[in-house]
């Protein structure tokens, strides 16, 4: 049995769409990081996206856990031309596409970006590879809101649209267990 502990990186304070832009996390709340680290299994392996906000968060909560190499496949969804734009700018630039992108997640992508189905498949391949290499184990995956939301349907059988409705806060933890009979969801967005 393998349990995933999907952790969203620390807050960035960005007010624009932030996908592959490499912005830092604010890790000044040491007490929150300590509570998070205390909540997670001490014997877990820890891996992160290769973006700075995830790397520094993973390093801040790692303690004596084995730190696996950062993984580019665990990056946030690539928002392409929308990355760095406020949602009002995105709506003005691409009014129909931007609305459909969120209301009908699937094969639609931002210009020069990636679709919901693309990010879901990319992340699932990375997580499946981690499980194959390290099962049974507790795996802490420090990544991004879109990464976490993309994996919730594996355990809940929810649609992508329903999964996107979940709140995923900075430093929130979503746990999922892979047992012989398939995936089970635990808590979504637990704040330690």
Catalytic residues: 9, 76
Tokens of 9: 């990186």
Tell me whether residue 13 is exposed, middle or buried, using C-beta atoms within 10 angstroms of its C-beta: 0 to 12, 13 to 18, 19 or more.
Answer: exposed
Both tokens of 118, joined, read 């693309």
Paired tokens of 26: 């604010």
Q: CA 12 to CA 24: how far, in whole Å?
A: 6
Tokens representing 48?
A: 């992160």
The Cα 129–Cα 122 span in angstroms is 11
């Amino acid at each position: 049995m393998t349990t995933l502990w999907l952790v969203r990186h620390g807050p960035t304070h960005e007010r624009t769409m932030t996908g592959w832009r490499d912005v830092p996390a604010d890790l000044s709340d040491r007490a929150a990081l300590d509570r998070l680290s205390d909540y997670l299994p001490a014997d877990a392996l820890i891996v992160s996206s290769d973006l700075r906000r995830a790397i520094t968060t993973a390093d801040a909560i790692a303690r004596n856990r084995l730190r696996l190499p950062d993984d580019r496949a665990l990056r946030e969804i690539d928002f392409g031309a929308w990355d760095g734009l406020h949602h009002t700018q995105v709506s003005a630039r691409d009014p129909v596409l931007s609305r459909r992108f969120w209301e009908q997640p699937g094969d639609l992508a931002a210009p020069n970006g990636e679709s919901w189905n693309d990010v879901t498949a990319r992340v699932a391949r990375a997580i499946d590879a981690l499980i194959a290499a390290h099962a049974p184990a507790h795996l802490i995956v420090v990544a991004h809101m879109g990464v976490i939301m993309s994996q919730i349907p594996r355990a809940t059988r929810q649609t992508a649209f329903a999964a996107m409705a979940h709140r995923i806060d900075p430093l929130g933890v979503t746990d999922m267990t892979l047992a012989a009979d398939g995936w089970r969801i635990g808590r979504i967005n637990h704040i330690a």
